Amino acid sequence: MKRIYVLALVLCLLLGSLSAQVSDSLLFRGVVMEGDSLFALPYAKYTINSDRSYVSNELGQFSFWGKNGDVVHFSYVGFESLYVAIHDSLANDNFLMGVFLSRDTIVLSEVVIIPQTISPGAYARNMPLLSTKEEAVAQHNVDVSTYQAITQPVKEWDAEMNQKNFIQARTNDVVYKGQVQPGQMVGIGNVAVQAEIERVKLSKKKKPSQSYITLSEWEFLIATYHERLKMKQPKP
């Protein structure tokens, strides 16, 4: 009986710790752009507290968990860096962030942070967030495995590929009737040629990119940024 009480106490402590961790966590989703052209900056680097480094995806989008007191450093080659401090004034728990980096040393880089009403827990169930290095490595391994699966040479043909090969073979018989077919000249059969064609087609497919924000959210960030720039302009 005493053992059951001890296990129950340990479980309560663990649940309390996890609950405190979630309540202290803030979800940030956003995109890194050039302040002038508003082009997205792919693979921009951002570091949290100088010990956790990540990069945005090919669309310049990112997502991370932060807490009060964290300092996030955004950087990109040829642009002025930007530091964002997370503090108590951020009363919400989910934020949309637009990072606008500047090439000019005179014009400062800007950040737009907009509170969201989506629950981080609900959002996390629909999107894998790379909150730790281990999770980032695991997600990368999954992406690589998927990419290799669709680009590796074809070893076993399915019914559709067999049908394509049969049709191609009959077509070649008609076109090259009475002649030596090109594939036979170099000792390569139709199966090998068709398999290579299928492999090349698949290899041209890029790994799907993960979107962290919607198009409407992206446009809203840009509109908010424009309004901020207008407010900074001197009045006549």
* DSSP track, 14-66: HHHHHHHHHHH-EEEEEEEEETTT--B-TT-EEEETTTEEEE--TTSEEEEEE
- Where are the domains positioned within the chain? 25-127+214-232
CA–CA–CA angle 225, 231, 236 (5° rounding): 140
Q: What is the pLDDT of residue 45?
A: 95
Virtual torsion, Cα 113, 118, 123, 125, nearest 10 deg: 160
Contact status, residue 54 vs residue 130, Cβ threshold 8 Å = yes
Rounded CA-CA distance 122/40 in Å is 27
Burial (CB count <10 Å: 0-12, 13-18, 19+), residue 61: buried
Conformation bin of residue 234: beta by default, left when phi > 0, alpha when psi is -120 to 50: beta
Structure tokens at 94: 């989910």
Q: Does domain 25-127+214-232 have CATH number 1.20.1250.20?
A: no
pLDDT per residue as tens, the chain (236 positions) = 555 544 444 444 444 444 444 445 889 999 999 999 999 999 999 999 988 999 999 999 999 999 888 999 999 999 999 999 988 666 678 899 999 999 977 778 999 998 887 544 444 444 444 444 455 455 555 555 555 554 555 555 556 566 566 666 666 665 556 565 555 555 445 555 566 566 555 554 444 456 789 998 999 999 999 998 888 887 76
**Given this model, what pLDDT does residue 80 score?**
92
8 A C-beta contact, residue 21 and residue 66: no
Q: What is the pLDDT of residue 198?
A: 60
Q: How far apart are CA 132 and CA 40, in angstroms?
A: 24
